[in-house]
Amino acid sequence: MKNALAFLIAMILFVPATWGDSPDQTKQDRRLENAGLVMHEVLNMPDTIPKHVLDRARCVVVVPSVLKAAFVFGGSYGRGAMVCRTGREFSGRWGAPSMVALEGGSFGFQLGAEATDFVFLVMNGHGARSLLHSKVKLGGDVSAAAGPVGRSAEADTDAYMRAEILTYSRARGVFAGVSLEGSTLRPDNDANRDLYGYKISARQIVRGPSPATPLAAQRLISILNNATPYPANG
């Protein structure tokens, strides 16, 4: 009898916590967890994003597991998360995530049979503010270039100095800069609503007052804060 009563109490305590998460919220949580895993693995690869480049980034966008089938059959190709530095000039530590969508362009032709992860570094305030407000076309609305790879990569390449967004891909264990001109990134405010439980825009999330950081995003944010807590000058 005592065992049955203990089991019933445990179920009462457990069930409300699980009922509180909608399927859509759980889906966004998984995307955040996958984004954290991708960032962890990328930053631990021998050829990764140069630290002096990551230090200058104002926002990081991670879009995990984009499949070639998404290009063939769909009009919307990838879903992920954007984390920006806090503060008026994007000069603080990394803040709460906003969900994003990656669409269109020529990147679909570059995908193989396996899933491809994409990482975007937003290098200045203009690029960050543009992405917070609306859809941006890479190479059109904002300048974009394949990002440099390797811990000893030169800091002052022409592409790095001019680009507002640096683009990378990882497939089959290979991480490299990749041209994604013609593709678009946009805030995914439907996913933000699912994640936070109420209607909230990308700009409100990043510029504040920021909502509480979801538990599923803590790994991603912790990785970025440990790797590059504050931006380099420039």
- Is residue 188, in this structure, part of any structural domain at all? yes
- Is residue 16, in this structure, part of any structural domain at all? no
- Is residue 73, in this structure, part of any structural domain at all? yes
Three-state helix/strand/coil letters over 138-184: ECCCECEEECCCCCCCCCCCHHHHHCCEEEEEEECCEEEECCCCCCE
Q: Which residues pair with 168 in a beta bridge?
A: 119, 177
The C-alpha atoms of residue 1 and residue 23 are separated, in whole angstroms, by 35
Give pLDDT tens digits for 29-60: 999 999 999 999 999 999 999 999 999 999 99
- Is residue 137, in this structure, part of any structural domain at all? yes
128: left (phi over 0), alpha (psi -120 to 50) or beta: alpha
Most confident of 10-14, 108-112, 121-125, 158-162: 121-125
- Is residue 14, in this structure, part of any structural domain at all? no
- Is residue 165, in this structure, part of any structural domain at all? yes
- Is residue 26, in this structure, part of any structural domain at all? yes
Number of domains in the chain: 1
- Is residue 11, in this structure, part of any structural domain at all? no
Q: What is the rounded average pLDDT of the residues 5-13?
A: 40
Structural domain for 142, as ranges: 22-227
